A and B are shown apart, each in its own frame.
Chain A
Amino acid sequence: MSAEDALKLKFAGAELTFSQFRDNHRIVVPAARLFEILAFLKNEQHFDMLAEVTAVDYLEYEGAKDRFGVVYVLVSTTSGERLIIKTFVNDPEPLLPSVYSLWKSADWLEREVYDMFGIRFSGHPDLRRILTPDEFTAYPLRKDYPLKGRGERHNFPVLTRAES
């Protein structure tokens, strides 16, 4: 039985949307049941590796109902299968459960999503910014953040030759 069939049986009541493009198997799940679905895929199926956590900002996107989509790419190292799990969160407080307790690789991946999109993960052991400096206040991959920034790249002391 494939992982998708197992999910259909186990979570019969949940709103799961299955789709496929070539060999990409995609499942959209409700955010409230995200953690138990991922825990099921890790513990009772064979998806023992979390390859990627990333997010998409759907602000002003045609036909989108939610602000952020968060994407988890799972890999099975025994069969080589990949599974893409997607869920949606919204402003003003985008919050998801951390999957650090399932896969240790979630540590930095979730920090990156937090840094770039401002989506918080409850239960994460060390949710700090990972790429931008600590004093940075914006979330630069959000669509309402200007490409050229709000002047952060110019906010440094100027050294002249006479004084250095």
Chain B
Amino acid sequence: MIKVENLTKRYAGQAAIQDLNFEVGQGEIMGFLGPNGAGKTTTMRILASFMPPTSGRATVAGYDVFEQSLQARAHLGYMPENVPLYNDMRVTEYLDYRAALKGVPHRRLMERVGDVKELCGLKEVEKKLIGTLSKGYRQRVGLADALLHEPDLLILDEPTIGLDPNQIRQVRALIKNLGKQHTILLSTHILPEVEMTCSRVIIIHKGRIEACDTPENLLGKIRQAGGVVVEAKVGPDNGVEELKKISGVRDVIVDVDGEWKIFSLRVESGVDVREEIFRLATDRHWTVRELTQRRATLEDVFVEITHSDSI
């Protein structure tokens, strides 16, 4: 659906994105992750034919976004960041206008506008001025607009930014539902969202792709694939020494809470050391009040890859 080859965009000599290469297949939901200024919006704008790349090429549904931009645009629905809309129009009026602009045939226009309003929950605000809508509804108008001409591909730039948790949940459910019929490329900051909705993830940092894989594989790959937290009274023992001897444990950090010691263990990926710890504790007569495995989240992957920024 999307094919990107050596895509580079420079602004005044500075590269916003550099040599991007990736593909998004039919029916995939691809998550696009990265810190602010990583080049997500730039990439999406190029794919939506809003601006040309400095070099390299990109095709959408088989059409070059620069050479055959009109056909490429006809095959994709794009929702820009922050959803700019005409505030002086009413919801239905705006969607009618957009549908006509996107070449939805006359006889299907009413039906399509009705359908997207239904799908995005806009029925109750259809007569309102867009300028008076809340952020959540604006977002939905943007999404409805992107869906109007039944595009094969949806490009959504931060579809859940600025929404409250309930709205995020609604939009997420909507996106997941749309993923059944459409190919979707979405960018976001919200990591659980990606884990929950996307079939593949691209992590982009400083204009370069740092990782591109399924969320599960990415989690498996990361070095500190989680850890174990043990909270125990160890009596006369040091604790750290004993725990370090367990195979699979790489490092132990200790924290003291009164007579309790809290051990945070870094563990090699794919190893479950909890049983060993339990045995150790019974052997040494430790009193244990917590023994939990902390699962690595995509957030850990994200921080790991892009942490040079966050210092």
A binds B: no
Could you tell me which A residues sit within 8 Å of B by CB distance?
A: none
